[in-house]
Amino acid sequence: MTSLDEILNKINEAKDIVILTHENPDGDAVGTSLALYLGLKNLKKNVDLIIPKYSRVFKCLPGIDEVKEEGKQDNYDLAIAVDCAEIKMLNGWSNYFENAKSRIVIDHHSSNSMFGDINFVDITSPACAQTLYVLFRSYNWKITQDIGTNFMAGIITDTGGFQYQGVSKETFEIASNLLTDGVNITKIYKNLLETRTKTGFELRRVALDRLEFLENGKVAFTYITKKDEKKLKCEEGDHEGIVNEGMHVEGVEVSIFLHESDEGFKVSLRSNEYVNVSDVCLMFGGGGHIRAAGAKMTGTPKQIKEKLLNEIRRQLKK
């Protein structure tokens, strides 16, 4: 039996299902979990989607108003984690996963620790939404316009609008099919990639002002503190995408962005051509993709910067 058959069996057997995704959810995490949520609802399942906190920019996605902050029970028949590489990224709601009778992981991160009973992980997929789309098609599940919109939201955000590594002919075929199904790609693109909140824009201003170029212009570094966010009255998700600013400058290979949280700094790394930032982040207990990865670190921004540079330098070409 393939893992696709096993997953379908588990879904058919389950009455109460919970869907979970990683903390600080991005468009792929929210879009993929909403697509799965709406799909399971069409199968008449009792399903809860738990996302305690998410950015206001995702308010445009179909089904988002049904998202719950916490579950109605602690012992679901089945838990499905999407776009989540490790159980610790389920943060304060991993109990719903751990206490479920069956556990499934659907993901596309190369650093996935395979923490489910069944793991459907395609590391060649540029977005978890694409991985889930393949699953929907193989089960012949109906892809409504609302479900398609969420699939597209995941694909567009995780590929930066079809530009990152991993985008393939299949990705465009899926986009083409979704367009045929009535999904408004232009609108999703504008809402999720080009629109930012006013406070998010002000936060960018601070980060850009602080941005420095290091290692002969090959590394861009900046950070945001809790104090900055408090001063600007920032909301959840306002810092999203700041890491890309440095990456788009000529000559930059690696962009580093630090975002302060209650437990230190959340580190985001991006690379353009050859540095494997997933390997860099693995050194500090994190992970992700070759061109986009993250970790949690403690210390001052300066200390963290030095630690990261020590690892990045090994990979930088002269």
Contact residues: Mn ion, CB under 5 A: 28, 83, 128, 158
- The residue (of 243 and 304) whose beta carbon lies closer to Mn ion is 243
Q: Please report how close the Cβ of residue 276 comes to Mn ion at its closest, in angstroms.
A: 18
Helix or strand run (H / E) with residue 295: strand 292-297
Q: Please report how close the Cβ of residue 85 comes to Mn ion at its closest, in angstroms.
A: 9
Q: Please report how close the Cβ of residue 298 comes to Mn ion at its closest, in angstroms.
A: 26
Supply 259's token pair: 């975002």
Q: Which of 202, 189, 284, 283 is nearest to 242 (CA)?
A: 202
Q: Please report how close the Cβ of residue 190 comes to Mn ion at its closest, in angstroms.
A: 21
- The residue (of 48 and 158) whose beta carbon lies closer to Mn ion is 158
Q: Please report how close the Cβ of residue 103 comes to Mn ion at its closest, in angstroms.
A: 19
**How far are the Cα atoms of 180, 220, 291 from residue 216, in angstroms, in the given order?**
47, 10, 20
Distant-in-sequence, close-in-space partners of 264: CB < 8 Å, separation ≥ 6: 296, 297, 298, 299
- The residue (of 171 and 222) whose beta carbon lies closer to Mn ion is 171
- The residue (of 154 and 301) whose beta carbon lies closer to Mn ion is 154
Burial bucket for residue 194 (CB in 10 Å: 0-12, 13-18, 19+):
exposed
- The residue (of 85 and 224) whose beta carbon lies closer to Mn ion is 85
Amino acid letter, 203: L
Helix axes of 169-180 and 145-158: crossing angle, nearest 10 degrees:
150
Q: Which residue is it, tokens 């943060």?
A: 91
- The residue (of 31 and 301) whose beta carbon lies closer to Mn ion is 31
Beta strands at 219-224 and 254-261: parallel, antiparallel or unpaired? parallel
Q: How many CB atoms are located within 10 Å of the residue 146 CB? A: 18
Name the residue number minimizing CB distance to Mn ion: 28
Q: Please report how close the Cβ of residue 254 comes to Mn ion at its closest, in angstroms.
A: 20
Q: Decide if 106 contacts 120 (C-beta within 8 A).
A: yes
Q: Decide if 199 contacts 231 (C-beta within 8 A).
A: no
